[in-house]
Amino acid sequence: MTPQTDIDTTRKAFQADLAVVETEEGLQTVRDRYLSRKRGAIAALMKSMADADPVDRPALGKEANALKQEIEQAITEKREAITASTHPIGGIDVTLPGRELSFGRRHPLTLIREQVVSLFEAMGFEILQGPQGEDDYHNFEALNMPVDHPARDMQDTFYLEGSMPASDPSEPPATLLRTHTSGMQIRYMESHEPPVRIIAPGLVYRRDTPDLTHSPMFMQVEGLLVGEGITMADLKGTLVSFLRAFFDADTRVEFRPSFFPYTEPSAEVFISCVFCDGHGCAVCKETGWLEILGCGMVHPAVFEAVGYDPERYTGWAFGLGIDRVALLKYRVEDIRLFYSNDLRLLEQFPQ
Ligand code: DAH
């Protein structure tokens, strides 16, 4: 064979080889077959020039070089074509494992609030939100706690320096941070006629020294139901169903007499300890019971404050501490963790 026929056959062989290449590995094999400095076909061609007639050598050498460039060019083009077809998005390698996205998660208090809200929503309650900056009238006075009422001391209030204009200019300015969500009872009844069936979740504030079970900011859910012929049996039935749906179908519920200025009679509700099932443990202080919420029949003075006829209407209300429930349900030991924004804690809750 002459060097000239060698060049022609090499070109043909290369074209045939290249035509069937589909992968980068395949292309690499073909490249090595032709362009490898030691074993490649081009290297062999160059060597064989030594046998050619010296007169033909320059022309043949040129031709062999041209073939070499042709092969290099064809391989580059093929490589780009392969890359484009396997990685169609602008040359990005979509086959590489992705970088893990870090998704935000709902805060444990948000999860509990959503669970409480959805259980009451299913019972036909309307969900309300209200201002955290509140005035004395809604937070205390209309709830049967006039100035100097000793019950105001039950709740250590954060007062605002000066005051904050209310979102509705016809309302008195906010002078304090609400100490409970009970003011939402007043806000709703002021602008709605019975029947009433609402719950109002939200943040509340008290001048408590932070410890395992106290935080100056925490979350409550207020509930209120008003109509004709509403009795304490309705209150008990609703709360027992809620607590059993929320905690456990076997949860035992106890109503114990208590005092709140805005309810009469008033009760504190206890559930059998979720940790020891009522046998007694450190969490329930060996009593077998956990206090879970305050409630009662709406006081007639509250109805009078909002212009409802207490002779015609009766109703009940309750206030539930979301943080306390979250501590129990998630077995977290320190309420302050809920407000520390520590991702190691926040990432632990089933969404
Ligand atoms: N406002 C009370 C508190 O913050 C909770 C409460 C008790 C709300 C009895 C009520 C109620 O509506 O009837 O401790």
Cβ of 199 closer than 6 Å to ligand 1, yes or no, is no
pLDDT at 301: 98
Mean pLDDT of 79-84: 84
Asked whether 296 lines ligand 1 (CB < 6 A), one says yes
124-163 pLDDT, tens digit per residue, is: 999 999 999 999 999 999 999 988 887 777 668 999 987 7
- Shortest-distance atom of ligand 1 to CA 298: 13
Binning pLDDT at 50, 70 and 90, where does residue 246 land?
very high
In this model, does residue 236 exceed pLDDT 90? yes
Q: Which tokens go with 65?
A: 């070089």
What is each CA distance from 112 to 131, 203, 325, 327, 348, in whole angstroms? 21, 13, 8, 10, 14
Ligand 1 pocket check for 321: Cβ under 6 Å: no
pLDDT at 161: 85
Average pLDDT, integer, range 229-244: 97
pLDDT of residue 87: 66
Cα–chain-centroid distance for residue 51? 78
Residue 88 has pLDDT above 70, yes or no: no
Mean pLDDT of 77-87: 82
The whole-number pLDDT of residue 91 equals 67
Measured in Å, residue 106 CA sits from the centre of ligand 1 at 26
Kindly tell me if the per-residue pLDDT of 114 is higher than 60: yes
Does residue 150 or residue 280 have the better pLDDT?
Answer: 280
Share of the chain above pLDDT 70, in %: 97
pLDDT, mean of residues 276-301: 93
Give pTM, 2 decimals: 0.72
For all residues of the chain together, what is the average pLDDT? 91
Q: Would you tell me how many other CB atoms lie within 10 Å of the CB of residue 156?
A: 13
| Both tokens assigned to 249 | 């179908």
Q: Exposed, middle or buried, 208 (CB in 10 Å: 0-12/13-18/19+)?
A: middle
**What is the residue with the minimal CA distance to atom 6 of ligand 1?**
319
pLDDT at 1: 54
Contacts of 62 (CB under 8 A, 6+ apart): none
φ, ψ of residue 220 to 5 degrees: the values are -125, 165
Q: Which residues have a Cβ under 8 Å from the Cβ of 195 and sit 6 or more positions away? A: 225, 226, 227, 228
Any atom of ligand 1 within 6 Å of the Cβ of 180: yes
- Taking residues 315-342, report their average pLDDT: 92
Mean pLDDT, residues 50-68:
88
With helix as H, strand as E and coil as C, how does 173-218 read? CEEEECCCCCHHHHHHHHHCCCCEEEEEEEEEECCCCCCCCCCCEE
185/200 Cα distance (integer angstroms): 8
